[in-house]
Amino acid sequence: MVVGDGRQNERRQIDADADRLLKGVARGAAGALIFGLPMLMTMELWFLGFYMERYRLLILLLANLPLLVVLAHRIGFEETFTWSQALRDAVIAYGIAIAMSAAVLTLLGIAKLGMPPTDIVGKIVIQAVPASIGALLGRSQLGGEDQSSSAGDDQNENDFSTSYGRELFMMAIGALFLSLNVAPTEEIILISYKMTPWHATATVALSILVMHAFVYAVAFRGAHQLTVGTPRWHALIRFTLPGYVVALLMSLYVLWTLGRLDDTTPAQILMSAIVLGFPGAVGAAAARLIL
């Protein structure tokens, strides 16, 4: 009887783990659709998948994988304890994103039979980058786990809060996600050409102000709280300004990846980075609150 009960308990545990993973995958599919749909219906990205230089697309795909691994370790489809489990969740998220992107593009008539395979693949894989991040966001935004898992999440959150490098890394993920949503549009370049140095200075100041207010001044869940006696400028110097630099670097990388910096003067490159850095800074600040 003891052996039989043990096997039944083991089977129940296996079924429970499988059910939890399936629910996580379902939430991941919903997250990929919700967070990726704006880009899936953006015309500029359809054309980017066609003419974008393949080595830049490959670098983007390869760079996205370690971002997904860290993100999966933070909020995977289920609670992860090792990096191999996080890598598994990252690969699953990529697979979900590719499947959802292919399905939506086919439904919209953007990917059709008879088109060159490189065209179809290019359109799908570039869409899979933000969709894969959305797939992992599905767990934290579209449903929670049981109480024990929540406790584990709280512990993981504390671990991440104490790591300065991981904090900046999460900001980079948030900046990349939001920058990718708007960088393909022509409006970013148009705005940068219309801006004067005074506009650029004001945009930088506003970006830093909004970023700082998001995390420290406004009482959002997950925001940092300054300890008693800590100078107000400490958070600005230690987190907000480095976070804005991270957002600018991610903006430059996204613009380069999409070919927006080709044959462009240094002054115009800076202007474009500042324009894209505004949504990038918001994404970086919101990453700590959402993730």
Residue 29 makes CB contacts below 8 A (sequence gap 6+) with 96, 99, 100, 135, 138
Confidence of residue 214 (pLDDT cuts 50, 70, 90): confident
Angle in degrees, CA 172, 176, 177, rounded to 5: 120
Rg (alpha carbons) of the chain, rounded to whole number: 21
pLDDT digits (tens, 9 = 90+) for 87-127: 888 888 889 999 999 999 999 888 888 888 888 888 888 88
By the 8 A CB rule, do 243 and 284 touch? Answer: yes
Here the tokens at position 114 are 């008879």
Mean pLDDT confidence for 148-174: 60
Neighbours of 148 (CB within 10 A): 9
Q: Which range has the top average pLDDT, 7-16, 72-81, 125-134, 164-173?
A: 125-134
Residue 20 makes CB contacts below 8 A (sequence gap 6+) with 78, 145
By the 8 A CB rule, do 246 and 254 touch? Answer: no
Amino acid sitting at position 291: L
Instruction: HSE, CB side, 13 Å, CA atoms: give it for residue 2.
Output: 0
pLDDT digits (tens, 9 = 90+) for 243-262: 899 999 999 999 999 888 88
pLDDT score of 203: 95
Summary mean pLDDT of the chain:
79
pLDDT score of 219: 47
pLDDT digits (tens, 9 = 90+) for 268-291: 999 999 999 999 999 888 876 666
Q: What ranges make up the beta strands (E) of the chain?
A: none
Between residues 171 and 50, the one the model is more confident about? 171
pLDDT digits (tens, 9 = 90+) for 117-137: 888 888 888 888 888 888 888
